């Protein structure tokens, strides 16, 4: 069997419990809330303007929703694969549910399967892949394809074709970070769209490469200098990857979060005392992506450990307002006092654990320090259901919904069966 065939077999033969579906519903809610909130942003409004005349096509809808979910940088992320899973799977299921009757259980199962496929492929690409390629864009299509294949009731053979043709569309580079371009939103949208298109074609027996991963001219050969293929099928009896996925509590790149968490702990003892310098110890990937002493835009601030730590130390909280022009100006002087160091135990613990330590040296010589081997929102420090629902409410309000309850209840009640609610109206696709 090829790796793709084995992956599909592993996932489809794995036991699904009500606990698994409940966890998937919470992640679905997070994605839907991010989708709504993403409308209230400059890139979100541009995407919506583009989508006005294109919403009747399921794949175009998935593209639009995937982009919106990923805009505010507060959607989920799976640590071991560095894949944002909700933005590439949930849009596919939502889009298909707008055109056909899908039970809540079917919907959640398809998202659960998609999470698993994207994460397992993402865990196999090796660390060098992430230096150039955005894993959500390159590994996400495998997850979106399996989500679609599940809802379209494709056979195993057709599903192999779907994943093969989704994988051949993999792309997405980190170059956009140099200018703060909006490309990252395209990455999520295209990953969702690619899988859905591939699955719809597979339903017509449109064939795809069965060895898309391990073939001599396949994914690993072209984009992965140090692949780890065994990770695709590792620990088949372990928990579903949805249980190993992190939920973001703060609206910035996840690589900034361990340092934010530590800085917020230091803030409690700071009491406004003047700071001489700040040292942040973390892992190299966080520095590679988020070493940005000066942030000239809101988006750059979300990808700056220096800004995020400085804002957390000054404000004692991190929310959407923490990245605006005034907040960046207020934090700029302190941000230039922040030094980033790749250091143990955080360096070798990554990607299994994403950790950081913040050491604040006061002007009188005293030191305040906090270490976060794991971060708030990680599986080891997961947000409680009530916190997740509160986060969803905040995002839904931010996106302009005056009454979030029907959306929240509609998602969570899918675990109990019944048809999937049609959320098309939240994008103004319907009245």
Pairing of strands 338-342, 356-362: unpaired
Tracing tokens 């992956």 back to the chain, one arrives at 7
What's the pLDDT at 429? 58
199/106 same-domain check: yes
278/228 same-domain check: no
92/17 same-domain check: yes
What's the pLDDT at 422? 79
> Which letter, b or e, does each residue of 150-164 get, where b requires 16 or more Cβ atoms within 10 Å of its Cβ?
bbbebeeebbbbbbb
Distance CA 152, CA 148 (A): 6
**Residue 100: in which H helix or E strand, if any?**
none
CATH code for the domain in which residue 55 is found: 1.10.4100.10
29/178 same-domain check: yes
**Per-residue tens of pLDDT for the chain, all 431 residues:** 999 999 999 999 999 999 999 999 999 999 999 999 999 999 999 999 998 888 789 999 999 999 999 999 999 999 999 999 999 999 999 999 999 999 999 999 999 999 999 999 999 999 999 999 999 999 999 999 999 999 999 999 999 999 999 999 999 999 998 898 999 999 999 999 999 999 999 999 999 999 999 999 999 999 999 999 999 999 999 999 999 999 999 999 999 999 999 999 999 999 889 999 999 999 999 999 999 999 999 989 999 999 999 999 999 999 989 999 999 999 999 999 999 999 999 999 998 899 999 999 999 999 999 999 988 999 999 999 999 999 999 999 999 999 999 999 999 999 998 788 877 776 665 44
The CA–CA distances, whole Å, from 319 to 26, 314, 335, 387 equal 21, 13, 18, 15
Distance CA 216, CA 387 (A): 46
158/39 same-domain check: yes
Total structural domains in the chain? 2
What's the pLDDT at 53? 80
| Burial bucket for residue 369 (CB in 10 Å: 0-12, 13-18, 19+) | middle
The answer for 236, left when phi > 0, alpha when psi is -120 to 50, beta otherwise, is alpha
412, 29 contact by CB (below 8 A): yes
365/398 same-domain check: no
What's the pLDDT at 132? 97
88/158 same-domain check: yes
Distance CA 81, CA 174 (A): 16
12/143 same-domain check: yes
258/401 same-domain check: no
118, 147 contact by CB (below 8 A): no
283/388 same-domain check: no
**Residue 315: in which H helix or E strand, if any?**
helix 305-315
239/318 same-domain check: no
422/362 same-domain check: no
> Which residues span the domain enclosing 132?
3-249+380-427
| Burial bucket for residue 379 (CB in 10 Å: 0-12, 13-18, 19+) | middle
CATH code for the domain in which residue 272 is found: 3.30.1330.120
């Amino acid at each position: 069997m090829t790796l793709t065939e084995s992956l599909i077999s592993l996932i489809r033969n794995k036991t699904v419990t009500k606990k698994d579906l409940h966890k998937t519903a919470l992640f679905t809610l997070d994605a839907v809330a991010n989708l709504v909130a993403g409308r209230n942003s400059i890139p979100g409004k541009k995407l919506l303007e583009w989508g006005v005349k294109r919403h009747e096509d399921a794949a175009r809808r998935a593209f639009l929703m995937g982009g919106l979910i990923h805009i505010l940088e507060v959607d989920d992320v799976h640590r071991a694969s560095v894949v944002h899973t909700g933005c590439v799977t949930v849009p596919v299921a939502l889009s298909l549910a707008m055109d056909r009757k899908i039970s809540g259980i079917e919907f959640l199962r398809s998202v659960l399967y998609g999470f698993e496929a994207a994460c397992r492929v993402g865990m196999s690409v090796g660390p060098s892949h992430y230096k150039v390629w955005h894993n959500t864009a390159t590994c996400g299509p495998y997850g979106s394809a399996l989500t679609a294949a599940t809802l379209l009731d494709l056979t195993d053979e057709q599903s192999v074709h779907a994943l093969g043709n989704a994988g051949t569309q993999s792309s997405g580079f980190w170059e956009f970070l140099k200018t703060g371009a909006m490309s990252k939103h395209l990455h999520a949208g295209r990953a969702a769209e690619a899988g859905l298109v591939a699955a719809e074609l597979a339903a017509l027996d449109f064939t795809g490469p069965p060895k898309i991963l391990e073939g001599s001219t396949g994914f690993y050969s072209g984009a992965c200098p140090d692949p780890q293929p065994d990770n695709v099928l590792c620990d088949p009896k372990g928990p579903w990857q949805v249980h190993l996925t992190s939920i973001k509590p703060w609206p910035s790149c996840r690589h900034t979060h361990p340092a934010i968490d530590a800085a917020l702990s230091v803030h409690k003892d700071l009491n406004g005392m003047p700071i001489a310098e700040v040292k942040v110890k973390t892992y190299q990937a966080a520095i590679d992506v988020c070493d940005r002493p000066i942030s000239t835009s809101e988006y750059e601030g979300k990808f700056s450990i220096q800004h995020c730590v400085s804002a957390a130390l000054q404000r004692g909280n991190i929310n959407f307002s923490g990245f605006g022009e005034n907040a960046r100006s207020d934090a700029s002087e302190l941000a230039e006092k922040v030094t980033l160091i790749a250091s143990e135990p955080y360096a070798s613990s990554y990607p299994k654990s994403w950790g950081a330590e913040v050491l604040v040296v006061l002007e009188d010589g005293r030191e305040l320090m906090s270490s976060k081997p794991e971060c708030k929102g990680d599986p080891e420090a997961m947000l409680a259901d009530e916190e997740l629902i509160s986060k969803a409410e905040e995002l839904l309000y931010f996106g302009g919904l005056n009454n979030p309850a029907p959306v929240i209840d509609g998602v969570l009640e899918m675990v109990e069966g019944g048809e999937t609610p049609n959320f098309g109206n939240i994008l103004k696709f319907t009245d």
